[in-house]
Amino acid sequence: MRINPKLYVIAEGVTPIETQQFDDRRVELFYMDDFDGVKEEFINKGQFAAWSSEDGVNYRVFIEKGYYEAVGELYTQPINKIWVEFWDTTEKITHKLSRKIMMPIMIIAVIVCIGSMWMGDVGQYIAIGILVAAFIVMLVINSKTKKSIVAENIKSRDLIVKHLGQNRFDALLDAQKSYMDEYYQSLYPQDEDEESSDSDDAIDVIEASEEVEENKEIE
């Protein structure tokens, strides 16, 4: 699956910190700190690790150095293999529900709208009705696609828990949260002159969150 292809190419000629190979696939790990602007771009999005691929076969993962040192176990070969399989499944879902269904619907809608132009005022109403119906169908398909991807993401997470064990998995998540909290706290320190009216108030931190896009990744 193509993921952040522009990010993938910036590491051409750069030696990765680790290379993992399995099932004719290659996953290369890099410190995002070593590339101008990459760390800032993704950290500002709450991402301490970013996957990339041009062909859905070879992948490059860019990871913030301190984060990798704290929770590098989440990026070992067995776990990355699970994520590569997740990306493969995601691509199949997207292709099946979007390209094989959405594209034909769009083509049919366009053809009907063009044909309705010769039907006068009635044709205009028909064209509007077709466009509205096509839009609703696309929304439904998009929603179904996202739900399918989320379900696969949960399956991948369960496989990771099974591989690591629940206790170790929970410990890594705690370490992940602690590192992110400390990182953002140091990045955006609380104003020393600000006085809190509630002694129990905690220092505000920016919590990291992800997509899934579209798909929540365990960092």
> Concatenated DSSP letters for 43-96?
HTTT-SEEEEESSSSEEEEEE-HHHHHHHGGGGSHHHHHHHHHHHHHHHHHHII
pTM: 0.73
Confidence check: pLDDT of 142 > 90: no
Q: Which of 88-102, 105-119, 146-160 has the lowest mean pLDDT?
A: 105-119
Q: Which of 71-75, 131-135, 187-191 has the lowest mean pLDDT?
A: 187-191
Confidence check: pLDDT of 143 > 60: yes
Please give the average per-residue pLDDT across 98-117, as a whole number: 74
Give the CB-side neighbour count of residue 23, counting CA atoms within 13 A: 12
Cβ atoms < 10 Å from Cβ of 126: 16
Please spell the DSSP secondary structure of 148-161, one letter per residue: HHHHHHHHHHHHHH
Q: How far apart are CA 158 and CA 198, in angstroms?
A: 40
pLDDT attached to residue 196:
43
Confidence check: pLDDT of 190 > 70: no
Averaged confidence pLDDT in the chain: 83
